Chain A
């Protein structure tokens, strides 16, 4: 099916939101590439101006951790599984622009080396899992900090919600792309995909909070550094 050999089927499936080739029309996939390349070019420029020396190894560690965590599917309701995407987490710790580049590394290696997510669809997958999760997760995080404040528990509530919202919005983008491509009508894709990812988002939020708690406990400076890469600045 996705990758020939049927005896490997249990692990050969397209995984969480990793769109395989064929699900998207060439026009939709092309739009995914165009949008991703535009935003990534801007992310490179911003990171080039703002990334501190000390954040370089953090980028490597975040990439490594998110790649590993994405292999760990957890069961959610209805015989479905999900796993961390990690975009909100990367954006909170590194800022949205460096975070986006880390997420792009993860998603690109998954597609190029492990055939997880299509090559034609890679632009759309980067758009959903790197660009949208980082921008939405980071905006939610900043917005919540302004509204509810940044005490220890409030901060963790913010991390949880940023994770949840990032996954939910990315899944809606995925549903939209599938429907534009004619694979699944929007009135079905949107509620079905949104519904599943509303559940998976809870796992995203919890894992993001656990990771943030670990970073805060071991390296408060990294958890609290305000990356200057704020949106719209």
Chain B
């Protein structure tokens, strides 16, 4: 598969994964479970601000839809950020390709 086709497919897979995010387990996760069991959950502060707290954008009443929208926004932003970091730092020499004969 060509490089561009592959990474576009990869991005689509990541976006598609967010569609099943409402099915994810709602059980407390590792650290949260420990904090509850050991009684230090109350130490947590409120956030300084809220943009999309808890992966639920404001104004979306269906939590499932909200999770999906938040997930897709996040996926695109993280894609852009990590792609951007790589783009800025990449070796520009033609022989700079790693893993290339």
Contact surface of A with B, Cβ cutoff 8 Å: 1-5, 8, 10-23, 44, 47-69, 71-75, 78-83, 98, 101-102, 105-106, 108-110, 112-116, 118-119, 171, 174, 178, 183-184, 188-189, 192-193, 196-197, 200, 218-219, 221-222, 224-228
Cα A47 to Cα B43 with chains together (Å): 38
| A192–B34 CB distance below 8 A | yes
Partner of A228, one of B13, B32, B54, B98: B98
Residues 8-36 of chain B, each 1 if its beta carbon lies under 8 Å from chain A, else 0: 01110111011011001111111111110
Known: A59-B83, A75-B27. 9 other contacts (CB 8 A): A4-B53, A13-B28, A21-B47, A23-B40, A53-B96, A63-B78, A102-B85, A192-B37, A200-B30
Q: Is the CB of A60 within 8 A of B1?
A: no
Once the chains bind, are A184 and B55 in contact (CB under 8 Å)?
no
Where the two chains meet, the residues of B that have a C-beta atom closer than 8 Å to any C-beta of A are 1, 3-4, 6-7, 9-11, 13-15, 17-18, 20-21, 24-35, 37-38, 40-41, 43-56, 63, 67, 70-71, 73-83, 85-87, 89-92, 96-100
Are A11 and B33 CB-contacts (below 8 A) given A51-B86, A113-B52? no
Q: Which residues of A contact B82 (CB under 8 A)?
A: 59-60, 62-64, 101-102, 105-106
> Are A114 and B51 also in contact (CB < 8 A) when A17-B30, A23-B40, A68-B15 are?
yes
Among A8, A59, A110, A184, residue most surrounded by chain B Cβ atoms (within 10 Å): A59
What residues of B have a CB within 8 angstroms of the CB of A15 in the complex? 29, 31-32
Which listed residue, B10, B21, B43, B56, touches A65 by the CB 8 Å rule? B10
Nearest chain A CB to B95 CB, angstrom units: 10
CA distance A8 to B83 in the complex (A): 32
Chain B facing A: main interface SS? helix
CA–CA, A22 and B96, complex, Å: 45
Interface centre among A11, A14, A20, A226, by most chain B C-beta atoms within 10 angstroms, is A11
CB distance from B3 to the nearest CB of A (A): 6
Q: Can you sample 27 A-B contacts with CB below 8 Å?
A: A1-B46, A10-B26, A11-B55, A13-B28, A15-B29, A16-B31, A17-B31, A18-B31, A48-B89, A52-B98, A54-B98, A54-B99, A55-B86, A55-B90, A57-B7, A59-B86, A60-B86, A61-B79, A64-B79, A67-B78, A68-B71, A73-B24, A78-B33, A80-B30, A83-B29, A115-B54, A196-B30
